[in-house]
Amino acid sequence: MLQQVEEISVNINRCVIASNAKTARKKVYLLSLEPALFQMKSNNLGAVRSSRVKMGDLSASWVLENPVDGRHDHPKSFQMVEDPFQSGMTFEEKTEHPPDDHQAGVGELPYSRLSSMSPVKLKRREMRQERRNLRTAELIGKDKEANNQMAAAAIERSKGFDPIVKGKYSIWRSDYESPNSDSTLKLMLDQIIMAKAYANIAKSKNESNLYNSLMKHSKLSQHAIGEASSDVELHSSALNRAKAMGRVLSIAKDKLYDCLTVERKLRAMLQSTEENVSDLKKKSAFLTQLAAKTVPKPLHCLPLQLASDYFLLGYHSREDVNKEKLQDPSLYHYAIFSDNVLATSVVVNSTVLHAKEPNKHVFHVVTDKLNYAAMRMWFLVNPPVGATIQVENIDDFKWLNSSSCSVLRQLESARLQEYYFKANHPSSLSLGSDHLKYRNPKYLSLLNHLRFYLPDVYPKLDKILFLDDDIVVQKDLTPLWSVDLQGMVNGAVETCKESFHRYDKYLNFSNPIIYANFDPNACGWAFGMNIFDLKEWRKRNITGIYHRWQDMNEDRTLWKLGTLPPGLITFYNLTHPLDRGWHALGLGYDPALNQTAIENAAVIHYNGNYKPWLDLAISKYKAYWSKYVMFDNPYLRLCSISE
């Protein structure tokens, strides 16, 4: 292509040089062709003056007429153009052509214009036209190629379409359904409300017949609605009931309607309904708390059967095995404080099942006097494979007394006993679910607060992993002992998300003591799976810090009861955050947790009222717990504990 362009340029130069000799003669000849034009003008005095006008001075609107054949044409202008190849000058004719000139073929120009153009310009024009033609063909080819690709892609997509129509696929599908699709049900509910309002007004005005009619139709409408939640579920007579009620309401409106009276009546009904809803919420909260804390009959049966056999079959005289491992700091030690035999067995079973070296794992279970025999019996007849387990009675810790334990000292207070164990205390059902929750005696249970005495319970251990009894282990937990706590005492998963689960949720920051010592935006963390450095604990006297704050809160002005608020205070700035994958919480109250996060977590926690061993449990989470229950165990079958 470059070679062709060079050859064309050489030829053009030759043509220009050859035509230079003719330029001067053409210039003179063209000038001689210009006609003489005279312009006549008169001034204000009537004097006439003539002047010669050049063709170049005429505008395009002038028309020249040939007297011989009558042809008309526009004036032509002659313009001097500098020759780009030499110092001589040429004349180029520039003529405005009629519209017919534009209808010439592609690349064709009127002869008069072509004859006046230099060979260079002609060649350039031809080259430009060739480039335009090539570009046009290229674009047309691309368009065809793009269209072909789109057609092929559409054909491929159509092959994957499912021809089976699923559900409704028309303009009548749910996207286009009327928002008033349950209009009959809504109408009947509104009619019942208005019927009650008019009935009260009729009764006050001694309109007994109208009152009876309104109450009768109201009952019939309620009967027709029944348990229906949509028009589809309504009884076949519902529409007729609505029409009959409409006629009665029309009569009532004609007789009784007064705007102010009806407004007052509806406001009174609204207030009454709100009060009823509030009472029902309180009752619901009370029943939920009652159901969550009441031991089901099968779970009550299990410890009774185990305790009975523990003494009858002579298991009470058996000694613990592998005692040398109980205080070996090189092993992996767990602390579980619980009075629930079945729940504790799930924690131990799930941990051992996922442990890479079960023989290096030691479980320290502490329970109360009532459940000690049953707990020990269970693990004697169902020992975890390879692991070591120790069951202790909290009443055997003689060093734990009211003089050294704030909780025991507070429990002896008559005021607290009145608060927790007397039904006629002012803080009763009428104060709502929050007060009900914290009036549970478990919040002053010594077993619940034993976690603050870990170095005293296990004086020869350096590290211990604390586990609640409502958790399930899904991975090997031994890497937790290798986590660098960076001088902190407690390793735990933080629970704060945006503004949730921060210190201001648990502590009373209106109290100046709390306000002066803690940051309300500090991130909260969870009990349930915590790795504790007992060496650092002893060095910092963590138990002493706990005692000091527990004594200050005897009147419950710093925080409500429980173990998490004093834990947040005691381990403030002493907690190392663990990766969230170690501990997933909320399975005991939140049905909308991320399923992937649950399945990938090392430990899942059923914190909340909906424990997995209760009928209240969230059904989709229950399988994670139940697969570690030995349902084929004779004691579980005897007590009718099944999936």
In angstroms, rounded to a whole number, what is the distance separating the alpha carbons of residues 363 and 573? 29
Which residues are within 8 A (CB) of 472 and not within 5 positions of it... i.e. 6 or more apart? 346, 347, 350, 603, 604, 606, 624, 625, 628
| Residue 239 pLDDT exceeds 50 | yes
Q: What angle do CA 38, 39, 44 make, to 5 degrees?
A: 150
Residue whose entry in the numeric block shows the structure tokens 């007052």: 264
Tell me the average pLDDT across 531-560.
92
In angstroms, rounded to a whole number, what is the distance separating the alpha carbons of residues 551 and 2? 98
pLDDT tens-digit profile of 343-399?
Answer: 999 999 999 999 999 999 999 999 999 999 999 999 999 999 999 999 999 999 998
| Residue 582 pLDDT exceeds 80 | yes
Q: What is the pLDDT of residue 548?
A: 93
Q: What is the pLDDT of residue 338?
A: 94
| Residue 70 pLDDT exceeds 70 | no
Identify whether the C-beta of residue 636 lies closer than 8 Å to the C-beta of residue 293: no
Q: What is the pLDDT of residue 439?
A: 57
Confidence of residue 518 (pLDDT cuts 50, 70, 90): very high
Higher pLDDT, 64 or 329: 329
In angstroms, rounded to a whole number, what is the distance separating the alpha carbons of residues 3 and 304? 107
Confidence of residue 328 (pLDDT cuts 50, 70, 90): very high
pLDDT tens-digit profile of 94-107?
Answer: 334 444 444 444 44
**DSSP structure class, residue 45:** T
Higher pLDDT, 421 or 352: 352
Above pLDDT 90, what percent of the chain?
A: 41
Q: What is the pLDDT of residue 259?
A: 84
Above pLDDT 70, what percent of the chain?
A: 72
In angstroms, rounded to a whole number, what is the distance separating the alpha carbons of residues 490 and 324? 27
pLDDT tens-digit profile of 170-216?
Answer: 434 444 445 556 788 888 988 999 898 889 888 888 889 999 999 99
In the chain, the domains with their CATH numbers are 184-291 (no CATH), 297-639 (3.90.550.10)
- The DSSP-derived string for 233-276 is GS-TTHHHHHHHHHHHHHHHHHHH--HHHHHHHHHHHHHHHHHH
Q: What is the pLDDT of residue 625?
A: 96
pLDDT tens-digit profile of 29-60?
Answer: 444 445 556 566 655 555 556 666 666 665 55
In 3D space, the residue among 530, 534, 510, 535 whose CA is nearest the CA of residue 520 turns out to be 510
| Total-model pTM | 0.62
Helices (H), ranges, 117-166: 119-159
Q: Which of 60-74, 88-102, 250-264, 365-379 has the highest mean pLDDT?
A: 365-379
Identify whether the C-beta of residue 506 lies closer than 8 Å to the C-beta of residue 438: no
| Residue 24 pLDDT exceeds 60 | no
- Cα Rg, the chain, nearest whole Å: 49
Q: What is the pLDDT of residue 54?
A: 62
What distances in angstroms separate CA 271 from CA 214, 263, 265, one per listed residue?
Answer: 22, 12, 10
| CB crowding 247-259: b at 16 or more within 10 Å, else e | ebbeebeeebeee
Q: What is the pLDDT of residue 30?
A: 42
